[in-house]
Amino acid sequence: MPVPPDESALLADFEARIAAGESIEPKDWMPERYRKQLTRMMSQHAHSEIVGMLPEGNWITRAPSLRRKLSLLAKVQDEAGHGLYIYCGTETLGVDRHELNAQLLDGRAKYSSIFNYPTLTWADVGVVGWLVDGAAIVNQTVLAKASYGPYARAMVRICKEENFHKRQGYEVCMVLAKGTPEQKAMVQDAVNRLWWPSLMMFGPSDTNSPNSAELLKWRVKRKTNDELRQRFINLTVPQAIALGITLPDPDLKLNEETGNWEFGEIDWSEFHAVLKGEGPCNHERIAARQKAHDDGAWVRAAATAYAEKQQARKSTVAA
């Protein structure tokens, strides 16, 4: 989009600040495209945290021990906190969270495609922590250096908690992988189902990612989708080897020269189908969020009534 003449100086200043590594704060001037892209990206992230509570929350009542229940409960609560930080961060861009929630419920906003897959066994809780939170860490560590201050600062705290999520998941996998043959088979089965969807979490290849170039230029993103995916794979393959688990990709092999684990073709048609709403759990996830929204109506009504009462009291005192 061409920039109107009076904005070109502002834009030059904005881009110079970003190039100098300064962070952009809510009251600073920013191009509308930057605001729009950030709002889209941050709200998508916040929705992913909240929807991401659902597949694992499903297992809290069925955790195999008190210790497992406590750590899973803590993890799922953390995800609620992550959603709230990021909704607050998104609000600093001038959009109300009621609007963001409405966009999630009516399908205008997206969330990470991985949460549209079911968690079929207890091993899925381990594998989600290991792979999905592991992928989230790779993504979010880089976002902690994003140019928008409120987003970057939220990521610093979130990453610390994600490390705990990944460890609890990996530990669940480790115990099962060293357990009975049936337990080990459960981990293998969960990895077989969740490996490829985890790789899709980084988004389409850079050559097909319409938003990447602009986000990179403005340092909202600091690495490309493909770079992050490769980093995740390089970190994860040795962990799978340590578990004695096979990753479901016959083409996976170490390139001695680059140090990268090369991998097979990702089925992007599956990714696009899931994004379009055709994943195994899309309807269930949105129905659960809609129910939570409806069940919370009395809380919102009570909070509004309370705020009005406080306001009326203040006006009486002032008069």
165 near Fe ion, rule: CB under 5 A: yes
Phi-psi sector, 203: left (phi>0), alpha (psi -120 to 50), beta: left
Of 129 and 204, the one with the shorter C-beta distance to Fe ion is 129
For the bound state, the minimum distance from the C-beta of residue 55 to Fe ion, rounded and expressed in Å, comes to: 12
Residues 99/35/157/118 CA torsion (nearest 10 deg): 50
> Which range in 155-163, 188-196, 229-237, 239-247 contacts Fe ion by CB under 5 A?
155-163
> Binding marks (x or -) toward Fe ion, 204..243, rule CB under 5 A?
----------------------------------------
* Residue of 187, 165, 162 whose CA lies nearest to 243: 187
For the bound state, the minimum distance from the C-beta of residue 130 to Fe ion, rounded and expressed in Å, comes to: 11
Q: Which helix (H) or strand (E) holds 269?
A: helix 268-273
> For residues 25-54, which are near Fe ion according to CB under 5 A?
49
What's the CA gap between 270 and 319, in Å, rounded? 63
> Which range in 58-66, 86-94, 125-133, 232-240 contacts Fe ion by CB under 5 A?
125-133
* Residue of 137, 113, 142, 110 whose CA lies nearest to 215: 142
> Which range in 24-32, 64-72, 130-138, 249-257 contacts Fe ion by CB under 5 A?
130-138
Of 24 and 155, the one with the shorter C-beta distance to Fe ion is 155
User: What's the alpha-carbon Rg for the chain, to the nearest Å?
Assistant: 22
Of 68 and 82, the one with the shorter C-beta distance to Fe ion is 82
> Which range in 10-18, 77-85, 110-118, 305-313 contacts Fe ion by CB under 5 A?
77-85
For the bound state, the minimum distance from the C-beta of residue 28 to Fe ion, rounded and expressed in Å, comes to: 27
> Which range in 81-89, 218-226, 281-289, 297-305 contacts Fe ion by CB under 5 A?
81-89
56 near Fe ion, rule: CB under 5 A: no
199 φ, ψ (degrees, to nearest 5): -65, -30
56, 91, 124, 133: residue in contact with Fe ion (rule CB under 5 A) = 133
Beta strands in the chain (DSSP E): 253-254, 261-262
* Contact call for residues 117 and 55 (beta carbons, < 8 A): yes
Of 82 and 231, the one with the shorter C-beta distance to Fe ion is 82
> For residues 169-208, which are near Fe ion according to CB under 5 A?
none
Tell me which residue has tokens 């399908």: 107
> Which range in 66-74, 127-135, 172-180, 231-239 contacts Fe ion by CB under 5 A?
127-135
b/e sequence 178-202, b meaning 16+ C-beta within 10 Å: eeeeebbebbbebbebbbbbbbbbb
68, 82, 184, 231: residue in contact with Fe ion (rule CB under 5 A) = 82
24, 37, 43, 79: residue in contact with Fe ion (rule CB under 5 A) = 79
For the bound state, the minimum distance from the C-beta of residue 75 to Fe ion, rounded and expressed in Å, comes to: 6
What's the CA gap between 258 and 56, in Å, rounded? 36
Q: For residue 229, which amino acid is it? A: R
For the bound state, the minimum distance from the C-beta of residue 300 to Fe ion, rounded and expressed in Å, comes to: 24
State the angle between helix axes of 133-143 and 149-177 in degrees (0 to 180), rounded to the nearest 10.
Answer: 160
Task: Give the footprint of Fe ion on this chain (CB under 5 A).
Answer: 49, 79, 82, 133, 162, 165
